[in-house]
Structure 1
Amino acid sequence: MTAQDTSLQPQFTHPKQPARMTGRQRLIMALLLTASFTLAVDFSILNVALPRIGADVGFSLEHLQWIATSFALCAAGFTLFFGRVADLFGRKRLFIAGMALLGIGSFVGGFATEPGLLLAARVAQGIATAAVTPAALSLLTTSFPEGPQRDKALGLNGSLMAAGFTAGAILGGLLTDLLSWRWAFFINIPVAVFVLVLAPKLLTESSRGTRTKLDAPGAVTVTLALLLLVFGLTTAGQKGWSDPLAWGPLAAGAVLLLVFFFIEKRTAYALVPVTILRRNNIAWGNIAGILAFATETSLVFVLTLYLQQVLGYTPLGAGLAFAVLGVGTVVGGLIAPKLIGRLGAKTTIITGLGIQAAATGSLLFINTSPASLIIVLIGTFIGGVANLAAIVGFMVTATTGLPDTEQGLATGLTTMSQQVGITMGIPAMSSIIAASLSHRTAEHSPAQVLDGVLPAIGVNAALCLVAAVLVSCFLRTPERAAV
């Protein structure tokens, strides 16, 4: 089928699909979205509290980054593995087990008094995220048929996950200032209990097809590859791309990905069947997703530096400024299903990324004046709406045309794209800023920091535009599977 054969696609209306969700479907969606939102909050809730955590628990300044890195490594490194495990051994089981692990890890982290125990808790939270996110997404996609219902569910999921990143920064600041950073861990426990009580009653195990063996060589290889890539990207953002601990793991990870590809071609029980990667909508949909997540999350990092070091905001004040972005992402998630219904997923992705590029480009007009905050608020709101529309379009595209038995794999791939995008964007923007400041003095004036921030914003906007062009040229509109 070509991109022009749209008349053959029963894409956005299906006569057998109910117009409204049932009460049970609404409860299932609320349960799964609660879990997804909580996991998204965990990505950023500790960031503003890192200095205080280090002082209380005994982390040296140079080792503070491991509180965030240990979580990101596991969340990204194991997600593809758990996505396939969900298909083969049960999404409901994996979802419940992951939420139980999240509760245990959060309990341990909240009472940790030494670095090793705190890092163990963050590793547990990262593994729980890697297990729950693809399981929750595949339960969501298999609970709603392809069409308006699934688009709406994915739109709400995308908006709440994106809002979760922003809410985490705000909530982390509030909890740390008003109570203690330990409540950033404790807050997960009642959520985990809530989900564990309702999940066995509401969720049903989807058909898993013919159970096959798990591809152990492929699972080990791709997990090690992703761990090395995330570690290399994180190190690059902290120490620069020339550091051996940055390019060394990146090179090794790339080699392991190549090895993984050849393993998958030769095994009868492939973790990621090569045929699914040859599907145009799977490959290009996930490429669009990586770039969408990389650009928006890294822009938050760049603007955090701007707000604090140029305009002089406190960490909490900077977090509150991003509340406008959070509202924009929620709006984007709500309108995305309607845009997809009218324009199609491909056009929604292109439009979203194009508007995001323009909104990000408008930030090139910021300066050292406090009035620039108005530009930041307007630009991030519009960019947030557009980015979420593109993300929902990517999620719909990358999970369309597949049977239920492969939805765990598809959502595992989309989750991996999300984690890799979040991880790779910040080091890239950080290196651009560092290059601009490398010849300056150790103490940087607001004007000097601004000179480093503006090129990063320009590159970010250009990446959005490049992503839109790539999708326009290479993505073919996927065909809906029959309901």
Structure 2
Amino acid sequence: MTVVDRTRARLGLAVVCAAHFLIGADGLSVAIALPHLQRTFDAELIDVQWTLTGYGVVFGSFMLLGGRLGDLYGRRRLLTGGMLLFAAGSLLAGLAPVLGLLITGRVLQGLGAAAAVPAALALIGSLYPPGPARTRALSLLAAMVTVGVMSGLVIGGMVIGWLGWRWLFLLMAVPSLIAAAGAPHVLPETPALRDTKPDVLGAVLVSTGLIALLYGLTSIEHNGLVAARPLLSLAIGAALLTGFVAWERRTPVPLLRFDILRVRSLRAGSFGIGANGVAFTSTVYAGTLYLQDGLGYTPIQAAFAVLPIDAVAFVIALIAAPIVRRSPRTILSACFLLTAAALLWLARTPVPANYLTDLMAPLVILGVSLTLVFIITTHQAVADVHPDDKGIASGIYETANHLLGGAVGVAVYATIVATVANETGDPNGYRAAFLASAGLVIAFGCAAVTLSAPRGRTP
């Protein structure tokens, strides 16, 4: 690389990291605002929950389409458009007079994020060739994602405490517009496959199918497992996804070519990031509810209480590049075990709690394990796929992350917390959520380690 190329690559990486930081900061930071949204709109938790679930459902459901559109029409174009849509959704959510419009704004944010995130990840490969420079770039991206989410909690707690929850959304619009304006000047545009048409029917089938499934999961909390509404929604979702598989196998230009799923490294990375997603979501969702409702923390106190993940993750990401190249499979195995152990530690949920021993210690462990897994699996996701398919590969990877970790995770944990509380009369159902998360981490982690490259094959 020349000096000019290196400078341009660094500026491009800054835009990619900024996009991930903003989306990460906004994604789950709303969890800390849920009690305030309940009071503002005089709504039940299951209703305001859709500010999280609606965002996560759309984000996860349209990720495959976003990744494929980046392959077809240019990833820089998708990143720019996605950030503009994200900014529009932020403004609508912040100004919404009723809960329905707030959820609509969150849906627009989810659509923008679904376009921007796969494009951003795929653009890393365009900025840096395989080797140490790309590994360092992925490490920095891992730091920005984690710091974004956790800083979002801190900033969210401060903004809610000082300015009110509306500014949590309004303040996201300006940096999103800046990122969109800077992308065309510093990011390379990937070749567009203009002769290929997007698979509209496939996108509709998979997106509506996932939405129906997630709506069914969420409505279990309010209606019960054997009620007509969740069962009907789950059945419709399963039918639509079955139709999606059948259509993809027969259409000449599918949204998702199933042969790409034969790439072991992509499957390994997707299972691994799925494990990370369910662990992180339980920590943020169940953890912040436990801190506020169980221990009586204010939003600002709750945000600062989980800050150790942020600080540790940032340090680990900066020094991880030479570590993860040595034996990624062994590191993954150790990290999944550490993550499960930390979740079991958090599952004790004592009231009152000693911050250092009951909270900070497992959060530090999570900061180490989640960051290392993110770096390794991010490389795995795109390492062995054809350059023309890096967008859809990124979409598959990010779908596993944000669908399992975000939408499904929130829906499952919300249902668990409410169900345990209703059946036992104990409002602190957070223990069950942490236990479920630990079990899912072990299951997904075993799949990721089994599919990972043998010792000696390094990022």
Secondary structure, aligned partner of 1:214? coil
Instruction: Give the AA of the match of 2:83.
Output: M
Letter of the 2:156 counterpart: G
Q: 2:217 aligns with which of 229, 233, 249?
A: 233
What per-residue deviation string (whole Å, max 9, x for no partner) do you get for residues 192-220 of structure 1?
23213321211121123573121222121
Deviation by residue 1:116-143 (Cα, 9 ceiling, x = unmatched):
4333322221111111111111112222
Cα pair distance change 1:45/1:270, threshold 3 Å: same
The amino acid that maps onto 1:414 is Y
- Partner Cα separation in structure 1 for residue 114 and residue 223 of structure 2: 27
In 1: Cα distance, 2:435 partner to 2:51 partner: 30
2:255 to 265, 268, 271: 271
- The aligned counterpart of 2:444 is 467
Note the residue ranges of structure 2 that are not aligned, 5 or more in a row.
none
Question: Structure 1 residues 299 and 185 mapped into 2: Cα distance closer, same or farther (>3 Å)?
Answer: closer
Q: Which residues of 2 match residues 136-215 of structure 1 at below 5 A?
A: 136-209=120-193, 211-215=195-199
CA deviation profile, 1:451-481 (whole Å, cap 9, x unmatched): x444443443333333333333343459999
Q: Secondary structure at the match of 1:189?
A: helix
Q: Is the 8 A contact 2:52 2:410 kept in 1?
A: no
Q: Provide the C-alpha distance between the structure 1 equivalents of 2:217 and 2:58, rounded to a whole number of angstroms.
A: 14
Q: How does 1:34-433 map to 2 (within 5 A)?
A: 34-53=18-37, 56=40, 58=41, 60-61=43-44, 63-209=47-193, 211-236=195-220, 240-344=224-328, 346-363=329-346, 367-371=350-354, 373-422=356-405, 423-433=407-417
1:122 maps to a residue whose letter is R
Q: CA deviation at 1:370?
A: 3.2
Question: Alignment partner of 2:197: what SS?
Answer: coil
- Distance in 2, matches of 1:120 and 1:430, equals 21
**Count of residue pairs brought into register by the alignment:** 457
Aligned residue type for 1:263 = W
* Compared CA separation, residues 305 and 54, structure 1 to 2 (3 A): closer
Residue aligned with 1:113, SS: coil
> What is the CA distance between 1:396 and its match in structure 2?
1.1
Cα distance change, pair 251–49 in 1 and its aligned pair in 2 (3 A): same
Matched residue SS, 2:383: coil
Aligned counterparts of 1:238 and 1:83: Cα–Cα separation in 2: 34
Instruction: Tell me: CA distance 1:432–1:332, structure 2 relative to 1, closer, same or farther (3 Å).
Output: farther
Contact 1:360 1:460 in 2 (8 A): yes
2: distance between equivalents of 1:372 and 1:247?
A: 41
For 2:364 and 2:395, locate their aligned partners in 1 and report how far apart those are by CA, in whole Å. Answer: 29
Instruction: State which structure, 1 or 2, has the greater radius of gyration over its C-alpha atoms.
Output: 1
Quote how far apart the aligned CAs of 1:273 are: 0.8
The one-character-per-residue Cα deviations of 1:22-71 (angstroms, maximum 9, x if unpaired) are: 12111111111111110111112333334444555x46335322322332
Secondary structure (helix, strand or coil) at the match of 1:187 reads: helix
CA distance in 2, matches of 1:114, 1:431: 24
Residues 234/392 of structure 1: CA separation in 2 closer, same or farther (3 Å cut) = farther
CA distance in 2, matches of 1:52, 1:215: 41
CA root-mean-square deviation: 2.9
Q: For 2:330, what is the secondary structure of its paired residue?
A: helix
* Alignment of structure 1 residues 6-45 onto 2, 5 Å: 22-45=6-29
Matched residues in 2 for 1:198 and 1:52: separation?
Answer: 35
Q: 1:146 to 1:208 in 2, by over 3 A?
A: farther
**What is the identity, as a one-letter code, of the residue corresponding to 1:472?**
V
8 A contact 2:73–2:194 mirrored in 1: no
**TM-score scaled by structure 2?**
0.90
**Is the 1:289–1:418 contact (alpha carbons within 8 Å) kept by the matching residues of 2?**
yes
Structure 1 CA distance for aligned equivalents of residues 103 and 422 of structure 2: 32
Tell me the secondary structure at the aligned position of residue 272 of structure 1. coil
What amino acid is aligned across from residue 190 of structure 1 in structure 2?
Answer: V
Deviations 1:72-112 (A, max 9, x none): 22211211111101100111111111111222222333333
